[in-house]
Chain A
Amino acid sequence: MTTTALPLATERTRHRSGQVRAEAIAAYVLSAPAMFCLLGILILPTLATVVLSFTDWQFGAPTLRWIGLDNYAHLAADRVFWKSLGNTVLYVAVVVPVSVGLGLGVALLIEAGSSGRAFYRAAYFLPVTATLIAMATVWEIMLHPSIGLINVIVDALGLPKQNWLKHPDWALFALAGIGIWQALGLNMVLLLAGLKSIPRDLYEAAAIDGADGPWTRFVTVTLPMLGPALSFVLIISAIRSFQVFDTVAVLTEGGPNKATEVLLYTMYQEGFSFFRAGYGAAITVVFLAFVLLLTLVKARIAEKRVHYS
């Protein structure tokens, strides 16, 4: 009995495994174009950058030499790099909480308001649609020490005028201010969408349960329900402000005295002004590590803390 049953069973298994293999092949064939693009556009360049960071390649040079961790050892001893990393972290630490906090505030006000919603929404969103490099020039005039609007206001308030972009203590914060102005609108729109998705009857249940004060309602319903949107906005604006480059390149060029030197600007200078491509690649790897870290944090938060109902 078993002798007749066994070959049958194995035959069926073989048949089934053949089917599975055919399906697997079809899957690979179908996803090949996308995989190819992904490889060519994202994965290979990233790998190339990592490999380059272990060489002494000069931009345009015909030869390169494997130097191991020399570039990283050099980075660790490079004061400009540390200054640049510190500035970037400080910039992120200012821009993210302020732009998300203000974005949330504006979103709450717009959502609570009865009229002019579309107008306010458009007004706050305008900076997102504007070209930052062109707007940076506008800000340069606004921040101009003698004719700038900012100093006119500061003076009217009885505070000391500053040469904002040229003062080592103020330059980075002036850039952070522009960064906040630019990021606010997007954060506001994303959070507004999050607010709209909160079911109304949760607020009504809270009103009946006694959680009806503005603050209590905010912490009992709005904030927890906004969790997914808020964590997304936080991570996105952290990654975006980590990438700060255009305002630095246009307005301060890392100055005065490296006060606004940030990671991407240092990388750009090393790679494309000084043609030290290998060294620039090492900075890029450090930058990628930070972005990857933020992404992992986001994945973690999404998994654990935030409730998706």
Chain B
Amino acid sequence: MIPAPNAFQSGVSVRSVSKSFGQTRVLSEVSLEVGPREFLTLLGPSGCGKSTLLRIIAGLDHADEGSIALGNQAVDGLLPRERDVAMVFQSYALYPYMTVAENIGLPLLMRRTRSWQRLPLIRRLHPVARAAAGTITRDVRRAAEALQIEAFLDRKPGQLSGGQRQRVALARAMVRNPRVFLMDEPLSNLDAKLRVAARAEIAELHRRSGVACIYVTHDQVEAMTMSDRVALMMGGEVLQVAPPAEIYDRPAELRVAEFIGSPKINILPSTVRSDGGVDVPGGVLAIRSGLPANTAVSVGVRPEHCDVADGGIRGTVRHRENLGSDLFVHVETVGEHRIIARAAPEIIDSVPPGATVSLRPRPDRALLFDRAGRRL
């Protein structure tokens, strides 16, 4: 097999990068390794510093401390152009006065011609400029075909729909072979249906390109469905970097567990019993924690690991959400703790609001966190 041009380069290394805006520290000592063909998502709530980190990697912002390397080369002093990155902006940042073809072709035009060759008359007459124009037209067409926008090449961005503009922005990033794709919430301006289609498409395009991709989003569904690994950020720190399944099943700490998953994970303030089980509000869980008796812990149970079945935590049904495929039952237990359990929609009539039900969390899937929020 012939390796792609980028196969031997490492991806992106972020080494203890810190950044403050005035008094606000937005990134503190962030380190991250992205593999050469990896799709890594920076996931976190707004204001967690994920976009700033992306901009620092792109060279649009500068780190106060730390360094960035792309493909084994430190790029800290380099301009965005010299870093050879491609970026898709949340707003798409298309040039409104250029046609779609000119938008997609601009990165090539800037790299394949000198500024004097772009002057109006010389552009038409100079052999080098004309040859470059030929290769640019060819490559633009190829990128446009990959994204199925070749019919719009002569239009202006203003004449396109949101989804089409987003494709043009993707095509502009993919028209050359950059060292890394940087995407800053590229789907957040699309409607829900388009977003689902675009998710699959971006993941597919990334696989074909074989180039590392760093994808910023606050949408955990995007992170879970598209990425090889997810880096969960909060308050300017990376809390955990792991594949989607691992970050969901084995979150490193309480904040990660609470951010990932919808509906949110149930957190129950609990105490370890002398017999090894755990006291939770309204019941006892048979967990072998191995912790000394009377240790205060938080037990996390995801709704799908909490069955509506006899002989468990007793509580009152307060609310039901029927999604058709799943039924979420909101149950209030002792001390006004709310637990959400997932059940089959068929049982909806047996759990009317106000009814007393029993919930049985599966002990093998329960997560234990210490007082500082670390998983035990």
Task: List residues of A whose CB falls within 8 A of some B CB.
Answer: 199, 201-202, 204-213, 215-216, 220-221, 224-225, 227, 307, 309
Contacts and interface: CB of A to CB of B under 8 A. Distances in A.
A209 B110 contact: yes
Contacts of B106: 206, 209-211, 220
Contacts of A213: 115
Given A210-B107, A216-B110, A307-B156, A204 B89 contact: yes
B80 interface: yes
A213 B115 CA distance: 10
B172 to A, nearest CB: 7
Interface stretch (B91-99, B340-348, B360-368): B91-99
Give 10 closest A-B pairs by Cβ, nearest first: A210-B110, A309-B96, A205-B93, A307-B97, A201-B93, A209-B107, A224-B97, A210-B81, A207-B80, A208-B80
A149 to B, nearest CB: 42
7 contacts: A201-B93, A204-B89, A205-B94, A209-B106, A212-B81, A225-B96, A309-B97
B81 A215 contact: no
B74 interface: no
Contacts of A208: 58, 60, 80-81, 85-87, 107
Given A210-B81, A227-B97, A216 B115 contact: yes
Interface in B305-327: none
A221 B95 contact: yes
A220 B95 contact: yes
Contacts of B58: 204, 208
B89 A205 contact: yes
Interface in B217-258: none
B86 A309 contact: no
Contact of B91 (A201, A206, A212): A201
A207 B89 contact: no
B89 A201 contact: yes
Given A209-B107, A227-B97, 19 more contacts: A199-B91, A199-B93, A204-B87, A204-B89, A204-B93, A205-B89, A207-B60, A207-B79, A207-B81, A208-B60, A208-B80, A208-B81, A208-B85, A210-B81, A210-B107, A215-B115, A224-B98, A307-B96, A309-B157
B14 to A, nearest CB: 18
A307 B110 contact: no
A209 B158 contact: no
Contacts of B207: none
Contacts of B59: 207
A207 B98 CA distance: 17
B215 to A, nearest CB: 16
Contacts of A204: 58, 60, 80, 87, 89, 93
Q: Interface SS of chain A: helix, strand, loop or mixed?
A: helix
A202 B157 contact: no
Contacts, number: 68
Interface string B96-117: 1110000000110011000100
Nearest to B158: A309
Nearest to A211: B110
Contacts of B60: 204, 207-208
Of A199, A216, A220, A221, the most chain B CB neighbours within 10 A belong to: A220
B186 to A, nearest CB: 12
Contacts of A227: 97
Contacts of A201: 89, 91, 93
A20 to B, nearest CB: 34
Contacts of A225: 96-97
Interface in B16-50: none
Contacts of B86: 208
Contacts of A221: 95
A220 B24 CA distance: 34
Given A211-B110, A227-B97, A205 B81 contact: no
Contacts of A224: 95, 97-98
A201 B158 CA distance: 17
A177 B88 CA distance: 48
Which of A201, A204, A208, A227 has its CB near the most chain B CB atoms (within 10 A)? Answer: A208
A201 B60 CA distance: 10
A204 B111 CA distance: 16
Nearest to B55: A204
A307 B85 CA distance: 29
A49 B93 CA distance: 51
Contacts of A199: 91, 93
A202 B81 CA distance: 14
Interface in B60-88: 60, 79-81, 85-87
Contacts of B158: 307, 309
A202 B110 CA distance: 15
B259 to A, nearest CB: 27
Given A208-B85, A216-B115, A220-B106, A202 B80 contact: no
Contacts of B89: 201, 204-205
Nearest to B96: A309
A201 B85 CA distance: 15
A209 B172 contact: yes
Nearest to A201: B93
A290 to B, nearest CB: 30
Nearest to B86: A208
A175 B219 CA distance: 63
Nearest to A309: B96
A206 B110 CA distance: 10
A204 to B, nearest CB: 5
B164 to A, nearest CB: 15
B345 to A, nearest CB: 45
Contacts of A211: 106, 110
Contacts of B115: 213, 215-216
B335 to A, nearest CB: 49
B156 A202 contact: no
A309 B157 CA distance: 8
Residue picked from A211, A221, A224, most chain B C-beta under 10 Å: A211
